[in-house]
Structure 1
Amino acid sequence: MSSALNGTAANVPVNIVHGTEGELVLFLVLNMWPSHFGLPILLAIILLSKKVHRHPTFVNLCVGFIIIGVSSSVLLYAGKTSGPEPSKMLCLFQASMLYGVPAFSSMLALMLVLQMFLVVRASVQKQVSQGPQTVRLWAMLATPYLALLISIVATAFVGASNPDSVSRNRRYFYCSVHSDSLTATITLVAAVFLFATIVFEVWTLVILYKNWMVVEQPGAKPRVAVELSLPIRVLAFGLYVIMAMSLSLLSVRAPESPVPDLVIACAATVVILIFATQPDILRALCFWRKEPTLRFDQSVASTRGMPRDIKGQP
């Protein structure tokens, strides 16, 4: 088995994804620019700036997408994006990492949205903070990596048991393991996580909608219940989650299309566009500008806990 893993398969699986060289370059760019440049800068701002605070689940999301981007670039590092098939050991390594991505990224998104839901619900119900929930926090941070580890081990076992099923040629953009049962299981688990994410997204939007009103008081100016930026970002992130689920299912039903792989590769860019455009991040980036009077930021990823009163003046 060891010699088979280090050699080149005699029977290379047929190519099922009809990609082009330009699409391969686009796939690599979409994975590399955020993981090697955009997300590290965003993380540096969050970790080093005294005026930017984010919940650890958001930091975890950024770190996770850096890992995903690096895993997607393994063949480029080895100079094996085209030409002869890479070694079975290298190919199985990348396939194991990338087969863990659906459950890993879905769980990362779920934990972030769950944290947002808990903050919004507690704020609306005017619950008093009970201090840091250490066990819950560590569970939210660790479960995505547990899902990744289980997926890696399962994929490595299946690929090592049948080395001829491991190839780059089959999926074109990256190495894969040809196993219908493995693919179906990974897709199903990711779909469950994504469905749970959508449930919490919708639940959060319902809460925000019910509290999105102009409060009229005698002798006082009308005040808006919730800032506009929060529901917009929630909706944008939710729409991408729904699209990712649909494309994941499409990739199983119509694997010859390169579109699902390319759109899913945009995930890290979507995270940057949605969350790196928040006012405090932009102020930190434009450090040379005179800082305006700060308002309370009701960002979903803030580590400052619950807003003082989500129905009141922000």
Structure 2
Amino acid sequence: MHIVSCQPEVQGADCDLLTVLRRASGLKELTGPFLGQNPSHPSFPPLFTGWNMGLSFFFNSPDAPHLSQFILHPAEGTQSHRDALIAGFMFLQIFGGHVGMPLLLLTAALSKKVQRNPMLINFCVTWLIYATSFTLVLYAGKQVGPEPPVGLCIIQAAFVYGAPVMASMAGLSLVLHLWLSLQTGKGVLARAAGGWRFMLLLGSPYILFLAFSVTMVILGSLKQDAVSRSRYLFYCTINLPYVNAVPATSGFIMLAIILFEVLTGIELYRRQKAFKTMGRTQHDSPPMHLFIRVGIFSLYSVLALVGCIAFWASTGDTLPYFIQASLPTAAFIIFGTQEDFLRAWGVIALAGFISRPFRCQSPSKESSNSKAIHVVLPASNLTRQDTLDDSLPPDAPKNNIIYEKDVQIV
């Protein structure tokens, strides 16, 4: 066995692990196809063959981390840089999925001020599951260090591949529900809440989640050497070509979301124009603010679609991963800032209390802008304190007597 060590004259960064590996393998740089590559690949140098080769090859320590911990994709660089990337990724997942979404769900369940749209509630539940899928290894305490147990890694990888399809389908179900509300009328869908169409829209995200997750569990169990956390640093994945079906399916669903959002916008424009021409107000449609918020989230889904394409192409950039991680937070901010939620949390009342001093006018300005008008009111509309002549006896006013009163209007 050939052991390579640093020469005494070598100092600093030249005497690190990558330098030793480069000298032993005859490579100038460990970049390109070698970063993040399965060591069983034929093009990998002979020194790295054997997926289970640990750093005990150099240091004779059974507790040393796996070699793949030092050949990371997409996060090359120092350990502190990788830790910062992991912290940012997990913060976005936890803040949106495990803080924001439970807050929305609890508020909808406990507050009578919140409109409980079943599809919107279902949408929030899917993002909670989505965030749990990406943080499973973190909560198990296996995010850094040696590779997690194979069983745990397979389960997380299966959930990671099933969750994006589930969340995308939940968004499509919400958009379809709103679009069908315009086609059939709000009351029709409300009465058909237990119908097959409504139940299909409600359950389809979980059906896809189970289908993809079970498939990935089977693939991961058959090819355990393809399951690894360090391939993409943030979570466990399965290095097989079959997983490309996940970003492809999610991208197709997101395109459908954008399509139905455009159709919904066109239908809303036509209706508003028609009702404006007739001088009427439209009351049989879902609230306009919900369409607007779904539209904003759909635009953000375009960025997620770009992230899916980049993920599918395996470009190695970290941006798609952070777009992916920010989706639960984006959903919480967009849908959590609805007026009914803000009112239930007391945000609107607090904002009104804070802005009250700025809305009050000075007395001189109020008196200068006030106008006195002559109003004739029937006595039946006046209380005893409102009568103009205090000398009248209490029983003097009658219903057929008219009194005159000056009223100050600001």
Structure 2: runs of 5+ lacking an equivalent: 1-49, 54-66, 77-81, 353-410
> Could you tell me which residue of structure 2 aligns to residue 140 of structure 1?
201
Residues 198 and 238 of structure 1 are in contact (CA less than 8 Å); yes or no, is this contact kept in structure 2? yes
Amino acid at match of 1:112: L
> Could you tell me which residue of structure 2 aligns to residue 205 of structure 1?
265
Structure 2 distance, partners of 1:144, 1:83, is 34
> Could you tell me which residue of structure 2 aligns to residue 280 of structure 1?
340
Residues 172 and 254 of structure 2 are in contact (CA less than 8 Å); yes or no, is this contact kept in structure 1? yes
Question: For residues 90-127 of structure 1, what are the alpha-carbon distances to aligned partners after superposition, in whole Å with 9 as ceiling and x for unaligned?
Answer: 1111101101022111111111111111123334xx88
SS at match of 1:215: helix
- 1:152-301 → structure 2 map (5 Å cutoff): 152-180=213-241, 182-213=242-273, 215=276, 229-286=289-346, 289=349
Residues 261 and 298 of structure 2 are in contact (CA less than 8 Å); yes or no, is this contact kept in structure 1? yes
Residues 130 and 164 of structure 2 are in contact (CA less than 8 Å); yes or no, is this contact kept in structure 1? no
Normalised TM-score (structure 2): 0.62
* Between 46-55 and 149-158, the greater mean CA deviation after superposition: 46-55
Asked whether 1:79 is paired with 2:136, we answer: no
Structure 1 distance, partners of 2:269, 2:86, is 42
Asked whether 1:10 is paired with 2:52, we answer: yes
Structure with greater Cα Rg: 2
Say which structure, 1 or 2, has more relative contact order (CA 8 Å, 6+ apart): 1
1:187 shift after superposition: 2.1
* Between 224-233 and 258-267, the greater mean CA deviation after superposition: 224-233
Which of 58, 82, 107 is equivalent to 1:45? Answer: 107
Which of 26, 33, 48 is equivalent to 2:95? Answer: 33
Question: For residues 231-274 of structure 1, what are the alpha-carbon distances to aligned partners after superposition, in whole Å with 9 as ceiling and x for unaligned?
Answer: 53232022012221121011111441111111111111111111
Amino acid at match of 1:18: A
Structure 2 distance, partners of 1:138, 1:228, is 24
1:206 shift after superposition: 1.0
Structure 1: runs of 5+ lacking an equivalent: 1-7, 293-314
Percent identity, please: 31
Residues 100 and 149 of structure 1 are in contact (CA less than 8 Å); yes or no, is this contact kept in structure 2? yes
SS at match of 1:79: coil
Structure 1 distance, partners of 2:309, 2:299, is 16
1:202 shift after superposition: 0.9
Equivalenced residue count is: 279
Amino acid at match of 1:208: L
* Between 11-20 and 243-252, the greater mean CA deviation after superposition: 11-20
Residues 113 and 343 of structure 2 are in contact (CA less than 8 Å); yes or no, is this contact kept in structure 1? no
The verdict on how the C-alpha distance between 1:167 and 1:240 changes in structure 2, with shifts beyond 3 A counting, is same
Residues 97 and 329 of structure 2 are in contact (CA less than 8 Å); yes or no, is this contact kept in structure 1? no
Structure 1 runs (4+) greater than 6 angstroms displaced:
222-228
Residues 205 and 234 of structure 1 are in contact (CA less than 8 Å); yes or no, is this contact kept in structure 2? no
Structure 2 distance, partners of 1:44, 1:187, is 31
Normalised TM-score (structure 1): 0.80
Structure 1 distance, partners of 2:189, 2:138, is 48
1:132 shift after superposition: 2.1
Asked whether 1:67 is paired with 2:129, we answer: yes
SS at match of 1:16: coil
1:129 shift after superposition: 5.8
Asked whether 1:101 is paired with 2:154, we answer: no
SS at match of 1:86: coil
> Could you tell me which residue of structure 1 aligns to residue 153 of structure 2?
91
Amino acid at match of 2:295: L
1:34 shift after superposition: 2.1
Residues 100 and 147 of structure 1 are in contact (CA less than 8 Å); yes or no, is this contact kept in structure 2? yes
Question: For residues 152-202 of structure 1, what are the alpha-carbon distances to aligned partners after superposition, in whole Å with 9 as ceiling and x for unaligned?
Answer: 11111111111110000101110000011x222222222222222121111
